[in-house]
Every structure is written in structure tokens, then in C-alpha cells.
Amino acid sequence: MDTLSVESSRGRTTGLSEHFLYQHFIDMKTLCDRLILLDYEEYVIKFLKMRPINRHYFALQTNSGEQFFMFISLAVWLLNKLGNDLKQPQEYDDPNTTVNNILKHCTQLGLFTDIPINNLKQGFGKHVISILNGLAEKVFEKLNYSFKRPIFPVDKEENEELDNSNAELLIEHIDEEMIWTDTSTDEDNMIDINDLSTYNRIKKQKSLKACDHLKASTTNKEEWSLEVEQVLPSLRVTIKLDSKDWRTSLQQIKENRHIMNTALKQVKPLLGNLRNVLEETVGKIYSREQYLNSTLDNLLVEYRNSQDELARISEHYKIISNGVTERQEVLSKLIEQLDVIKQEMDERGSSMTDGTPLINIKKAIATIKTDIMQMDIRIGVLQHGYFVSKIHEKSVIQDTMMEMRPMFPRNVL
């Protein structure tokens, strides 16, 4: 007995662990239904320009960044429906500040918010689903949204009852159905009631006349019974029911319902025991949570204060870092200008200390002086030649005059 009790307790614990393991999938399906009732698709498709979520979106990890953005967007949307004035989060916002702001508003609404921020920054998991479910439930409470049981249409009961045990019909019934089918499908071949009565009356009269001429029967009872047994299979027609017929489906439904009722009688006590175990376990968990909350209340308050202080310092650091970046940009521009000025000064200093231009000037002056001396020599040579030519001309003229003087006497002169 102890072994059986231990095995049963192990089975119950295994079932409970599996139940809690897949609980967030059930919660996610509930969240998806609630969001559809709140018409979230218009907000997601038209405003966020994203695809709607499915029933496993926040239960499994697909894309943490996209899931986190969808989580904070839906949370802000639900908080705005509850009367809060929150701005649509952007991709470059600080995730810690955004999550802290959402948790602060959730705390004001009375939701359980003792959740690590890192679990929410992942964008998926049971904590994300629980927060969105709590906000959606608060929205339903504000809208006074009431749920009702579905009303299913009731099929009318037919008066005809068929015998499904043997599913056999007499040939007379088949003849009647064939006559009815023929009369319903072909209106041209319809038989008048008067003609039918006349035909039956004539047939009856003929049968009576035939009976008058009949003699007494000499057949034994045993022979008659044997003949009837031989002819009986040919007098009946067996019709097999189609599996798609509604009568067959109705019979299967009745059989399945009977099986379910018998199985329910066996499973119901087990389910009752499981419910008792679950209630006891949930009560223990709740009492332990209350004990932990009472013992760790001071630490949680300090932790929240530290988180608020960290968020405030981060915001202040962000503001200061923006000013530092601006000053760094100005400093980089000044450094570039200083580099240009230094380069110009270096070029001018190198040109001032370099003696190459002076040497070039001296060489040019010496070259000019040499050219001037050569020109002076050439001028002197030309002047000397000119003077020599002049003197030569004068001497030639004088010689000519001297030669011509005897030809003219002085008296004539």
C-alpha cells in the first residue's frame, strides 16, 4: 500500500509539473482571444505596421527584439485604454526606463509586479503573458464586458423512427417508394386517384372470380412452412446503410456519448482528487508567497528604490552624455582648424629659414653681372670698330684730297 501511494503521489507530481510547464501556452491563448475581442489588430497593423500575433507568440522565443517591442507597445496601448496618458515607445528608448514605467502603472492598478526586469526585457515568457493578461482583464472590467454561454441551434426532432437494428424493408414498401419516386420526379406520368381506385376494384373482382374457380387446397402445413422458408429470403431486401448517412452518424454519436459517460464515471473521482491536491498545493504556494513577501518586504522596497535611483541616474547620465557628445564634436572641429593652421605655419617657417632663394638670387645677380660685362665688351668692340672705320674714312678722304690738290691750282682756288 505504501508503494502504491508513493507511485500515485509521483504520478500526481509529474502531472502537476507538466501542467505548470504548459500553463503559459494556455494563458497565451487566452491573451490572444482577449486582444482579438479588444480589436488590437487595427492598432498593430495600421499604427505599428506589424503583423498580428499568434497564439504562441509570447510563449516561445522567436525574435527577442521584436517580441519586446510588441510587448511594450501592447502594454502602453492597454494602459492608455485604462485612462493613462503614455507615449508610444520608440526603438531607441531605454528599455529599463520603459519597463519601470509600465511596472509602476501596473502597481497602481493592483497587479502583481514583483518580476525581474531582465525577464521582461527578453520579450517572451510567462511574466510577459501575465502582465498583458492582467491589463486586458482590467480593460474588460472598465468596459463592463460580460461573457455569456453560447447558444447552439436545436435540431427539430423528426417523427419518423427507423429501425437500425436489421435495416430491412419489405418489397411492398420498396414498391411504394418506387411509385412515389416515379410520381414525384416525372409529373407527366402521374396516376389519377380515381384511375387507381378503378384499377384496384377491377383487380379485386378478377381475384374474386379466380377464387370461385379454385378448389380446396391439399397442401400440408409442414410443406407450406418449408416452402415459405425457402421463399422468405427472396421476399426481403437488405439495404446497407452508408457511412455518410446522418442516421449512422447519430447512432455513433449516441454510442460515443455512452462511452464518454461510462469513462467519466471512472475519471471523475480521479479528477476530484487531483483538484483537491491542486487546491492544497496552490494554498501552500500562496502561504509561502505571503511569507516571503512579508519577510522580504524591506528588501523589495530598497530594491525598488535602488531601481528608481538607477533609472534617475541613467536618465541624468543620458542628458549629460548628449552635452558631452556635442562638445566633442566642437572639439574635433577646433582640432581640425588647429591642424590646418599648424600646417600653414610650418610651411611659412620652413620657407623663412631656407637659404635656397637667397642663393638663387645671388646666382642670378652674378649671371646678370656676367651678362653686363659681356655686353660692355661687345659695346667697346663695336665702338672701337666704329671709330676705326671713321678714322679710316677720314684718312681716305684726306688722301684723296691730297691727290686732287695738284690738279687745281691755288689761284683758281
Q: Where are the domains of the chain?
A: 2-143, 168-238, 358-407
How many degrees, rounded to 5, is the angle at CA 55 between CA 49 and CA 59? 100
Beta carbons of 86 and 109 less than 8 angstroms apart: no
Name the phi and psi angles at 169, rounded to 5. Answer: -125, 145
SS3 89: coil
- Sequence-distant (6+) residues with CB within 8 A of 376 are none
Of 130, 114, 119, the closest CA to residue 294 belongs to: 114
Please return the burial class of 81, using the count of CB atoms within 10 Å of its CB with bins 0-12, 13-18 and 19+.
Answer: middle
**CA dihedral (326, 332, 335, 337) positive or negative:** negative
Rounded Cα distance between 158 and 110, Å, is 56
- Report the pLDDT value the prediction gives residue 285, as an integer from 0 to 100: 93
- Report the pLDDT value the prediction gives residue 238, as an integer from 0 to 100: 56
Beta carbons of 133 and 78 less than 8 angstroms apart: no
**CA dihedral (326, 328, 329, 333) positive or negative:** positive
- Report the pLDDT value the prediction gives residue 195, as an integer from 0 to 100: 52
- Eight-state DSSP code of residue 216: P
CB count within 10 Å of CB 115 equals 18
SS3 186: coil
Residue 318 cell numbers, joined? 543620458
Cell numbers 527577442: residue? 64
Alpha-carbon dihedral angle through residues 342, 344, 349, 350, given to the nearest 10 degrees: 110
- Report the pLDDT value the prediction gives residue 412, as an integer from 0 to 100: 45
Give the N- to C-terminal CA distance of the chain in Å, as an integer: 189
Rounded Cα distance between 150 and 104, Å, is 38
What's the Cα-to-Cα distance from 55 to each of 32, 51, 101, rounded to whole Å? Answer: 6, 13, 27
Rounded Cα distance between 352 and 232, Å, is 140
- Report the pLDDT value the prediction gives residue 282, as an integer from 0 to 100: 93
Please return the burial class of 358, using the count of CB atoms within 10 Å of its CB with bins 0-12, 13-18 and 19+.
Answer: exposed
Of 133, 127, 147, 15, the closest CA to residue 74 belongs to: 133
Rounded Cα distance between 169 and 220, Å, is 29
Please return the burial class of 274, using the count of CB atoms within 10 Å of its CB with bins 0-12, 13-18 and 19+.
Answer: middle
**Most distant CA atoms of the chain, gap in Å:** 228
Residuewise pLDDT in 10s, the chain (413 residues): 444 443 444 444 444 455 566 787 888 888 888 888 888 888 887 777 788 888 888 888 888 888 888 888 888 888 888 888 788 887 777 888 888 888 888 888 888 777 877 888 888 888 888 888 888 888 888 888 776 666 766 655 444 444 444 444 444 444 444 444 444 444 444 444 445 556 556 655 655 555 555 455 666 777 777 777 777 766 655 555 556 677 778 888 889 999 999 998 889 989 999 999 999 999 999 998 888 888 888 888 888 899 999 999 988 888 888 888 888 889 999 999 999 999 888 887 777 776 777 888 889 999 999 999 999 999 999 999 999 998 988 888 888 888 776 655 555 44
- Report the pLDDT value the prediction gives residue 309, as an integer from 0 to 100: 92
- Report the pLDDT value the prediction gives residue 25, as an integer from 0 to 100: 85
